[in-house]
Amino acid sequence: MPITPLANRPHDHSHCVHSALSEADALCAQKGLRLTALRRRVLELVWQSHKPLGAYDILGVLSEQDGRRAAPPTVYRALDFLLENGLVHRIASLNAFMGCSHPEHAHQGQFLICRNCHVAIELEQLSISDAIVASASEVGFSVETQTVEVVGLCGTCRSA
């Protein structure tokens, strides 16, 4: 029987958010970085579900729920900080962001994205990254970053 990833299991999602914020605090303290209130809030919003969230969605929540008059560049700067420090990943095909499950170490992103419910599941398979680097090297290409996005149906949507 296949293992159902946490993103597709009923669970207390506040634990995911709390854990992500704690890891971010520790990582920033270790690196001497400043996790401002806005950066922390943006990270919290990104972790509110296992669905990638766009910058304008974040901006809307900041305006509606928080009453902040944040401009798009402010949100993008916060997202850039979170990206640069490995706390979030950018899902290019959706122009959206999701929390990184393993911010404690640098890695390449691989994502399974459900075309129906939009849940995204992060994988960390070194063999996939190695295969991409090896294949690129064979044609003289030097890989700097890689993000693999696989679209399909999650187990929950497939069963429905």
The pLDDT tens digits of the residues spanning 3-40 come to 445 455 555 667 888 899 999 999 999 999 999 999 99
Q: Which residue, 96, 68, 85, is CA-closest to 20?
A: 85
Query: What's the CATH number for 107-160?
Result: 3.30.1490.190
Percent of the chain as helix, strand, coil, to the nearest 5: 50, 15, 35
Write down the pTM of the prediction.
0.84
Give 91-126 pLDDT, tens digit per residue.
999 999 999 988 887 778 899 999 999 999 999 888
CATH architecture assigned to 10-103? Orthogonal Bundle (1.10)
What residue spans define the domains of the chain? 10-103, 107-160
Burial-class residue 41 by CB neighbours within 10 Å (0-12, 13-18, 19+). buried
